[in-house]
Each structure stands twice: as C-alpha cells, then as structure tokens.
Amino acid sequence: MPRIVCLWLGLLLSFSGFGQSDQDFLIIPKPAKMEVLDGRFMFSNETTVRFPPDNAELKTLADPFIRQFQAATGFSLRTENRPGATPTATLLAFVPVSDANLGDEGYRLDVTTTTITIEATKPAGFFYAIQSLYQLLPPEIFRSTPADLSVNWSVPACRIEDKPRYGYRGLHLDVARHFFPVSFIKKYIDLLALHKFNTFHWHLTDDQGWRIEIKKYPKLTQVGSRRKETLIGHYYESDPQQFDGQSYGGFYTQDEVREVVRYAKSKYVTIIPEIEMPGHALAILAAYPEFGCSGGPYETATKWGIFTDVLCPYDRTFTFLQDVLTEVMTLFPGPYIHIGGDECPKISWKKSPFCQNLMKKLKLKNENQLQSYFISRIDKWVSSKGWKTIGWDEILEGNSPAIRVSPGATVMSWRGIEGGLKAARQNHDVIMTPGNFLYLDHYQADRSQEPLAFGRFTPLEKTYSYDPTPADLPATAQKHLIGAQANVWTEYLKTANQVEYMVWPRAAAVAEVVWTPLDQKNWPDFTRRLPALFKRLDALGVSYSRAYYDVVAETRPQPDGTLQIAMTTQEETAEIRYSTDGSTPTAQSVRYDRPFDLTKPTSVKAVTVKSGVVIGDVQVWDFAVSKATGKSIQFATIPTRPKNIDPALLIDGRYGTTIGYLEEMQNVAGVKTADLTATLDLAEPQSIQLVTIGLVKATAGAILLPKQVDVAVSDDGRTFRTVKTVSMDPRERGKKAIIRQTLTFEPVTCRYVRISARNVGKVPAGMTQAGKDAWVMVDEITVE
C-alpha cells in the first residue's frame, strides 16, 4: 500500500474514532473512547460467562443478559466462577478492578476474537458495559423467541473505555394528566437503562390527578385520583371548550410503587418522586378542601393549564404534607424528593385574610416571599429527614436573607437556562431541563403532519445540539451543574404508544448529551447510528417517531405563475419518491431528482426510500396555484402577528394551519382592531371571476371572522371599484379552523385586486374574550 494511502487511513481512524468498520459500532450514547481491532468474537453454545468467586452481585447483574441471550439465540451460555480455569471456547469475563479513572459508572470493554473482558469498579459500571454489549450485537438480541438462523451472533473486536459526562442523567414522565400502568412504567425504565440514563423522575401528582396511594389520607386516591371528564383536543381548539363526559382515573398502590422501585434498582435507575406544592394542587383540594384558602368546594381539574386555587400555608397544611412525604419516603430509596414549586398563582393568597396576617407576622414583603416561606419550610423538614429537596427553578423566587431554601436544595431549571445558571452561581446543585431543548411533548416535525402535541417545535437535531454547561460559566459554578433531564408532559398523550412516539428517538439524543464527552458529540455521526437505533426499537416493540426521515417541501412561486416545489430530507443516503395524482407513493413511484413545477392546485405526497424500502412516513401537502401565484402583494396595515411578515406568505402556495397555540399558527397573518387589506398586482390585465381567502376562526383567542369581506379591482392601482361583498358573522364560535371563503362575481378584466377583511374591532358581548381587541387573521389568497 502506498505510504500516502496509509497516512490517509490513519488520519481517518484517528478522527472518526471508529475506523473502517464503523458500521459495527453503533452504540448510543457514543462511548468516550473506542479503539477498533481486527476480527470478531463469536458467541456459541460453548461460550462461557465467568464471574469472580463469591461475587453474587455480579452474577445477579449478568443473569438477565444470559437469559435474554438464550431467548433471542437459543444458545445456553455456560457460567462459572473459577478465574484460573481454561475456557472450552470463547469467554465473557467480568473482572472487578480498582481504578479511580473509571469512577462509579465507568467501564472497560475489551473484545478479542476469543475473549470479552468487562472491567469496572462498581456494579453500575458492569451494567452499562452490558448495555453497550447489547448494542454491539445484532438488534435481534431483543427478541423474545429465537431469531432466524442466518443472524450472526458476534461482536466486533474493540477496546472501549467509557464513563459518563454527568452524574445525573434523567428522563421524566407525567402520569398525573394521563395514567400509565406498571407494565408500561417498567418498559419505560428498560429503555432508560439501555441508553444509560440513571434517573427516572416520576411526576405523580397534579391538578388533574393524584396517582400514589397514601394510607393516612385515603381520599387522595378515592377522590383526587379521578376527574369527571377530560378536555377534547387542544386547549384552544373549541370555543366553548369541549369535554368527553367520561370519568377518568387511576393510581398506583404502595405495593405497585415498591415493585417499580425494585425493578428500577435492578436497572441501576433511581426514581425521584414528585409531589407538587403549593400550586398544581386541585386534586389534593378536591379530596381535602380544608387545605385551600377558600375552603372550596373544589374539583379535580378537567382541563390543562394553571389554576388559581393552591394550597394555603396553614399549619395543618404542613402537617398534611409532612405526613404524605413520610409515607412517600418509605417507598423510595432517596436521596431526592421533588416538591414542585412551579406555576403557583398568588390570587387566593392575596384574598386570604390568613395569608395576609401571616405575611405581616413574618414581615414578608409580598406573596412571592410567602411562597419562599412555604418552600423553605418544607425543604427544612425534608432535610431534617436526611433527604435532599429538588424543585423547579421558581423555588428561588422571593428568597430573602431570612427565608430561603437550604444550600442543599437542587434546582431544576425549566424556563430556559438562566434560572439554572443563577442557582449554580448561588452554589445550588442544578439539573438543566430547559423547555426549548428538552421538553419531549413538543412537536418534532411539521405539525400539519404530526399527531396532537403540546405545541412549540423541538426537532431531534435541536435536542441533540444542547450543551448543559455553558463554556463561559465560571468553574466554581460549573461544578454545580450535575446533569440534565428531558421532560415528558402528557396533557395530549393519552396512550403508551403516543408517549413512545414523542420520546424516541429524541431521548436517545438526550442520552448522548448527558453521557458522551462534548468533543465526541457529532450530529452527522449520531445520524449514522440512527438506523441501528430504529432497528433496536423495532425489536423492542417501541412506537417511535420516524420524523428524521420526513420529506420537507418548500414552495417557490415563479414569475410565470407556476409554483416550484423543492423537497429535501435529512437522511442524505435516502431518495425521495413522490406522487401528484393522489396515489400513495411507494418505492416504485417517481423519484425526486430536482424541483418540479405545478401549474394547478395539486395534492403532493412524498416518502423517503432506502435500498428499495420505504423508511419514512408519507407526507401530504395541498398546494395552491392561481393567477396570484408569483405576483406582488402589499398590505395597507402591516400585520403584527407574526412580526416582520413577508406579504408574499399569503400567495406562496402553502395553506396555513391553526395547529398548536395561537401564537404558533403557521402561514397566517393577522392585524388587531384594524382591517386586513391586501392588494395584488397581477402584472398585467387579466380576466378574473373568483377570489378565495382563508379566514381564521379562533374565538377563544379573540381571533374572529371579519364582519365583511370585500373584493375590489383596479386598472391603475389607484381607483378601485368593488365587485363583491360578503357579510360574515364575527360572533360565530365553535372549533378553531380556517374557513375558506369564496367570492364569485361576473368576469372582469383588471390588473389590481384588493381584498379587505373588515375587523369588528372589539370582541362582542357574550363571547369568551368580550371587550378585548379583536384580531382578523387570514391565510392563502387565490385568484381565478
């Protein structure tokens, strides 16, 4: 081999970290160090698994791997505890070592053609080595019955030395909004452990349900675990809001909690229970109204959001909470307990004579300091029991020199990163969980193609890009950033399949964020390992999202009136197949090679294909093409939602969507109190007889239909004559929607077309937002 080629290969090996056999090394999260060796280790019925003598813990740890290996392969691995014995064939050896560099969770995995040696200082390290070994094996290793005989049960020779970047690596699940059975919680923990998370944050209580049995207060589950009905659709989807009329509930008995805790322990996962206070407490108050400021009556919440009824800081309230936490502490191993502390309105405290007198007695300046008093009192009690408090970043609000949470309290920063950085500078341990990166209930792809979600947009790449430790943070504060966590809120996730779809593969990206050294993180390399992850998730029966493979379509209006469609996908090795005739695209459909033009309104469907197999979900778009396409458009009053809008948005061929929160509606433009008037320049005189405009109706957010829509035409752009007027009813309520209003008239030749949607100005009396400024919002305009 020429010297220059050898040099090039050497550089490739050193920079990639995986070498020429990188398709064999598809571990997520990526190990800290890996060296590629020659050859493969072959498993067989003759393979021996060896443990040190008198180390029952290691055998207990490895037994699940041995059982799973037998289930998937049909091989019965031999076991022995004689270090000096000569193996009959290949050997898998567990070797405890003393090595401070590995820490408690690090390991070395040394694979040759005859031996796999796993070294670690603590059982957790051996456990994580086994998770890496699983991922070096074919994905069929996760089968419950023997795989096809053609599967090659081997792992590539390599040397891995690995340990986590952060000591806290968490994944959260809200079971209060929607309840999930123990079987699913165990599966959730399995997936955490496989990806080397070590903490499960179990959000057990909220306004919509209390999910843990407390024997001293049985009404918490008899009453608080149930709600009479549940909101249908998104929060602002209907006006008035619609409910399903069906009672909903569920809770975990203490025996079930113990079972889950034992199971998690076997996976080296610590469970942190969360008992929300003083806000998000309607389920408590429904059961025990005496802990609220007004005395009730209260009911378990049937919709989402923030509620003004919160726990009142009576002595009896603290006694109740201490009793509850005492029982919780008997069920969980510690050292942490999460007490919430977020989103606590102060309205009921402002109205309460008791709260106002207490503030005077304690010399508190405001209700924020009263919340600090509440949190610090619970925190001190938790600390007195030898436990550590975790709370959302609001627990630092209202702190004063006299009243503050203890130095040992840990802050979970969710409202961005600033709260966490502030807490770290105050020498509090911090777990970073900013919503704009690590909330997995957000949309992860084009929301018009996605199932219902909370809102916002957090795609896989954005989650992967997050770094919990800013480089410019002083070292004294950096040491307090102990890790990060992804959160999964379930307002709109009713089923286990929906949860899995939202969590995976984004949780795998989070796993790499918290485990892999920063200089080893690499988005292209992560995406190279995604197909193997998907195969593993398939084998494990996980309903994950394939949004990474989605086709993204861009519209480009052309001067000649055609609409050019450009399509891309993140998976560069895949091809795009599409159809324009309404049929579902397959691997045999037309291949996308370059942008194509549409000359009329068309439904386009596309899908990604690799090696002749469809790998993505079919994406569907309805595109508009009319005499307005590619022309000039101007507003009389510049829309303020969204800001800095390009007027061409309304004639770009793409219809708008109202999915998600009101401020997130896409491809729409709106003005408040004023009329929305748009003037089109068709470039030359043309005969027209029809104008269609999309009008947004979302009355829960003061977005009303206009009282009237006018179409006027002009030859010179100065003098206009009205050719059509349609009256509408701004009082019309119902489901949030875009109403396609068509205005037809006798054919007329003109160059300029002015469309005006007349604003009612103020929301009429009797409506949800009565008296507020009204919005008029529109989407795509077409002219025929």
Dist CA 390 CA 378 (whole Å): 11
Host domain of residue 107: 18-162
pLDDT tens-place string over residues 306-328 = 999 999 999 999 999 999 999 99
Domain final residue, candidates 116, 144, 162: 162
Closest residue by Cα to residue 520 from 16, 133, 125: 16
The domain boundary residue, chosen from 539, 563, 584 = 539
Q: Quick one: pLDDT at residue 400? A: 79
Q: Which residues contact 93 (CB under 8 A, 6 or more apart)?
A: 49, 50, 115, 116, 117, 118
d(CA 488, CA 191): 14
Which range is least confidently modeled, 8-12, 244-248, 460-464, 552-556?
Answer: 8-12
Q: Report whether pLDDT(430) > 60.
A: yes
Q: Which segments within 505-649 are labelled E, that is strand? A: 551-557, 563-569, 575-579, 590-591, 596-598, 602-610, 613-614, 619-623, 632-635
| Residue 688 clears pLDDT 60, i.e. is over it | yes
| 130, pLDDT greater than 60 | yes
Q: What is the pLDDT of residue 393?
A: 95
- The reply to whether 393 and 478 lie within a common domain is yes
Q: Are 623 and 598 in contact (CB under 8 A)?
A: yes
Which backbone phi and psi does 190 adopt, to 5 degrees? -55, -45
Average pLDDT over residues 586-608: 98
Mean pLDDT, residues 341-363: 97
Q: Are 425 and 477 in contact (CB under 8 A)?
A: yes
What's the whole-number mean pLDDT along residues 358-384?
A: 96
Residue 692: give its domain's CATH number. Answer: 2.60.120.260
CB 317 within 8 A of CB 361: no
CATH of the domain at 224: 3.20.20.80
Burial class (CB in 10 A: 0-12, 13-18, 19+), 483: buried
163 pLDDT band (50/70/90 cuts)? very high
pLDDT of residue 190: 98
| Residue pLDDT, tens place only, 508-524 | 999 999 999 999 999 99
Residues 155 and 271 in one domain: no
Lookup result for tokens 């590995």: 102
Residue 10 pLDDT exceeds 90: no
672 pLDDT band, cuts 50/70/90, is very high
Distance CA 417, CA 466 (A): 11
Residue 214 has pLDDT above 80, yes or no: yes
- Do residues 307 and 398 share a domain? yes
Average pLDDT over residues 610-632: 97
Report the 10 Å Cβ neighbour count for 541. 11
DSSP 242: -
| Co-location of 687 and 757 in the same domain | yes
**106 in Cβ contact with 124 (< 8 Å):** no
Which residues neighbour 349 within 8 Å (Cβ) at sequence distance 6 or greater?
293, 310, 312, 355, 367, 370
* CATH code at position 614: 2.60.40
Q: Is the residue at 544 inside a domain?
A: no
With left for phi above 0 and alpha for psi between -120 and 50, is residue 766 left, alpha or beta? left
Q: Check if 418 is active-site.
A: no
**674 and 716 in contact (C-beta within 8 Å)?**
no
The CATH number of the domain where 125 resides is what?
A: 3.30.379.10
Q: What is the mean pLDDT of the chain?
A: 94
Two structure tokens written together for 126: 């051996």
Which residue in 46, 256, 327, 343 is the catalytic one? 343
Domain assignment present for residue 545? The answer is no
Question: What confidence category does residue 3 fall into, taking pLDDT thresholds of 50, 70 and 90?
Answer: very low
In terms of domains, do 613 and 660 share one? no
Residues 603 and 653 in one domain: no
Q: Does one domain contain both 461 and 373?
A: yes
Of the pLDDT bands very low, low, confident and very high (cuts 50, 70, 90), residue 428 is: very high
Cα separation values, 315 from 318, 518, 526, 554, 769, Å: 5, 48, 53, 61, 39
pLDDT(87) > 80: no
d(CA 645, CA 669): 8
Asked which of 13-22, 175-184, 189-198, 749-758 is least confident by mean pLDDT, the reply is: 13-22
What's the confidence (pLDDT) of residue 7?
32
pLDDT of amino acid 5? 33
Gap between the Cα atoms of 250 and 175, Å rounded: 9
- Per the domain annotation, does 775 fall within a domain? yes
**Which of helix, strand or coil describes residue 314?**
coil
| Whole-number pLDDT of residue 712 | 98
Q: What is the total count of domains within the chain?
A: 4
Residues 664 and 579 in one domain: no
Average pLDDT over residues 620-634: 97
Residue 282 lies in a domain: yes
**Residue 479 C-alpha from the chain's centroid:** 27
Is the pLDDT at 14 greater than 80? The verdict is no
Same domain? For 468 and 429 the reply is yes
Domain assignment present for residue 5? The answer is: no
pTM over 0.85: yes
Among 70, 75, 83, 152, CA closest to 117: 83
What pairs with residue 231 in β-bridges? 243
What are the tens digits of pLDDT across the range 108-128? 999 999 999 999 999 999 999
Percent of the chain having pLDDT more than 90? 91
**Residue 25 and residue 106 share a domain:** yes
Asked if residue 4 belongs to a domain, the reply is no
Cβ(170)–Cβ(261) under 8 Å? Answer: no
Of 34-48, 397-411, 533-547, the least confident: 397-411
Residue 769 to residue 566: CA distance in whole angstroms: 41
Q: Which residue has the tokens 């829960």?
A: 700
What distance lies between CA 103 and its chain's CA centroid? 31
Tell me: do 232 and 330 sit in the same domain.
Answer: yes
Mark whether 501 and 562 lie in a shared domain. Answer: no
> CB-based contacts of 254: which residues, under 8 Å, 6+ apart?
212, 213, 215, 327, 331
Q: For the chain, how long is the longest CA-to-CA vector?
A: 100
295 in a domain, yes or no?
yes
- According to the model, what pLDDT value does residue 22 have? 63
Point out the domain boundary residue: 561, 588, 623. 623
Region 541-570: what's the mean pLDDT?
Answer: 97
The stretch 752-762 carries a mean pLDDT of 98
Asked whether residue 10 is domain-assigned, the answer is no
Give the Cα separation of 653 and 13 in Å (integer).
Answer: 48
